[in-house]
Structure formats: structure tokens, C-alpha cells
């Protein structure tokens, strides 16, 4: 039996690439799509892919009237939580690709997922190089006590830090808090220039033209430094394979899981 998917954000930069990839699979079928501006049209007509025959709806609530196994959230932070909770209420498993959700948002989603007995897989970045950055950084944090995260994105990205940076901070924070030689309260000048304290470490967000997505974590020890960095190009293709994998694996989960490595074997 194919996996029936409702894709929210189906005409966006990443969502449209995922939709086109789903059209080429034998085991995943799009049963509904969400894209306000294209509502009422067939997704295939909007994307120029005739194999995508599902209808586009203006809201997730409308799209979820069509039965599906997995709801894929690829919209905006101000809509994402409500969409995810609605999908869980309908009995769907959920994959979250939208960035900008807070730790409080995820706590609420975790409670709802557990109550529904459904899996939610929240992935800040579906690219394999980003997944490996997270794993390598976790190893480094066990041996090096001081580090800071730098999050880069295009100038039009409204949320900061990115979902990728939030996910990394959450993971490293479970290992330990990053030490500061000079406490923030002892900073001379403008303490805010030291970045935001998130999950026990400093996080800096840069928003400039010329970037798509990049993430850097810098570890420091006396007379030595380790930098681990992920850079993404302008194409959405690096995220497609990971997104398809998430769709195929999320039904084996219960509750909230963060990071694509939740369904990968990287040990």
C-alpha cells in the first residue's frame, strides 16, 4: 500500500521540489496539497507535473478532510504549529520541515503526539551534510567545553535562529552547556553583541544576500580551534532525499523526535 501524504507548502521552494520527487515514486502518493495562492487548482497544473493530480487547498484544515497517512509541514512558522496539531487530531503522522518553531511549540506538539499515539519527526535540515554536522558536533562537545554557533541565511528569512541552528543548539545542550571565560553579565560594552543564549550556548544569526542556508559551529581550546560547517547552494535538491526518507520512516515513531538521524543508522 502506498503512503498517502498531504503536503502543506507544496508550491514553495522546497515543497515544490519534494512534490515533483514524490511524483516519481511508486510508494508515496500525494492526496492533497496546501498553498493559499493556488487553491482550487490541480497541483500538477501549477507545477507542470501531470502526475500530481491532487487538489490544492487554501488551508491545512480543508486539505486534511482528505484521508492521509502523513502530513508534511513546509509552510511558515506562524502557521506550522496549528497545522501540525490539526494533523495529529486527524490521526496523521507528521514530518515538520518548517523552521522557526520555539521550544515551547515543540513541547506542546510533543504532548499532542504522545496523546495521539502518532509520530512527529521535526527536521531542521534534511541535507545529509547538515545531519553529519550535527553528529560530528555532538562528538566534539563531549571533549571541548567552549563553542559558539553561527547561523547564516538569506536576507529575506524572517525567523532567527534557523530551525537547523535551533536543532543543533538543542542537541548540544543535552550534552552540556558551553562554558564562557567571561560571563555575559561581565561583558563590557553591549552584551547583546555576544549573541543570544540558547540552550546554554551563544548563537549568532547572520541574514545577508548571497546566502541560502549555512551553519557553523566553532569549538575553541587553548592554541587550537575546530570549525564544522555546512553550506547549502541555491537548489532545493539536497533536501529531497532526506524528506522522502522521513515520510517513509515517520510512521514507525511515536511522540516527537528531532533530527533526521532519528531514522538513520549513523552509529
**pLDDT tier, 266 (very low <50, low <70, confident <90, very high otherwise):** low
Under 8 Å between Cβ of 71 and 45: no
CATH number at residue 94: 3.40.50.720
Give the model's pLDDT for residue 100.
83
If asked whether residues 171 and 193 sit together in one domain, one would say yes
If asked whether residues 99 and 137 sit together in one domain, one would say no
The C-alpha atoms of residue 37 and residue 263 are separated, in whole angstroms, by 33
Q: What is the DSSP letter of 54?
A: P
**pLDDT tier, 262 (very low <50, low <70, confident <90, very high otherwise):** confident
If asked whether residues 11 and 53 sit together in one domain, one would say yes
pLDDT digits (tens, 9 = 90+) for 110-128: 999 999 999 999 998 899 8
pLDDT digits (tens, 9 = 90+) for 180-227: 999 999 999 999 999 999 999 999 999 999 998 899 999 999 999 999
The C-alpha atoms of residue 16 and residue 13 are separated, in whole angstroms, by 6
Domain that holds residue 139: 128-232
If asked whether residues 9 and 134 sit together in one domain, one would say no
Each residue of 88-103: b (16+ CB within 10 Å) or e?
Answer: bebebbbbbbbbbbee
Q: How many domains does the chain have?
A: 2
| CB atoms inside a 10 Å sphere around CB 224 | 8
> At a CB cut-off of 8 Å and minimum separation 6, what does 175 contact?
138, 141, 142
Using alpha carbons only, give the angle 108, 260, 132 rounded to the nearest 5 degrees.
Answer: 130
Amino acid at each position: 500500500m502506498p503512503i498517502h501524504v498531504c503536503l502543506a507548502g507544496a508550491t514553495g521552494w522546497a515543497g515544490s521540489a519534494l512534490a515533483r520527487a514524490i511524483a516519481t515514486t511508486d510508494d508515496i502518493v500525494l492526496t492533497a496539497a496546501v498553498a493559499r495562492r493556488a487553491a482550487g487548482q490541480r497541483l500538477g497544473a501549477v507545477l507542470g507535473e501531470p502526475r500530481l493530480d491532487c487538489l490544492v487547498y487554501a488551508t491545512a484544515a480543508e486539505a486534511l478532510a482528505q484521508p492521509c497517512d502523513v502530513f508534511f509541514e513546509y509552510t511558515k512558522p506562524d502557521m506550522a504549529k496549528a497545522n501540525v496539531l490539526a494533523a495529529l487530531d486527524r490521526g496523521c503522522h507528521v514530518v515538520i520541515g518548517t523552521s522557526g518553531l520555539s521550544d515551547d511549540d515543540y513541547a506542546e506538539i510533543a504532548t499532542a503526539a504522545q496523546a495521539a499515539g502518532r509520530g512527529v519527526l521535526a527536521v531542521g535540515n534534511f541535507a545529509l551534510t547538515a545531519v553529519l554536522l550535527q553528529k560530528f558536533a555532538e562528538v566534539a562537545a563531549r571533549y571541548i567545553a567552549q563553542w559558539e554557533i553561527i547561523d547564516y541565511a538569506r536576507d529575506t528569512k524572517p525567523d532567527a535562529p534557523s530551525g537547523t541552528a535551533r536543532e543543533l543548539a538543542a542537541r548540544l545542550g543535552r550534552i552540556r552547556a558551553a562554558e564562557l571565560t567571561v560571563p555575559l553579565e561581565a561583558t563590557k560594552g553591549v552584551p547583546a553583541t555576544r549573541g543570544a543564549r540558547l540552550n546554554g550556548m551563544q548563537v549568532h544569526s547572520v541574514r545577508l544576500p548571497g546566502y541560502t542556508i549555512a551553519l557553523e559551529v566553532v569549538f575553541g581550546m587553548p592554541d587550537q580551534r575546530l570549525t564544522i560547517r555546512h553550506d547549502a547552494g541555491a537548489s532545493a535538491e539536497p533536501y529531497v532525499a532526506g524528506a522522502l526518507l522521513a515520510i517513509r520512516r515517520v510512521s514507525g515513531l511515536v511522540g516527537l523526535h528531532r533530527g533526521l538521524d532519528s531514522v538513520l543508522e549513523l552509529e
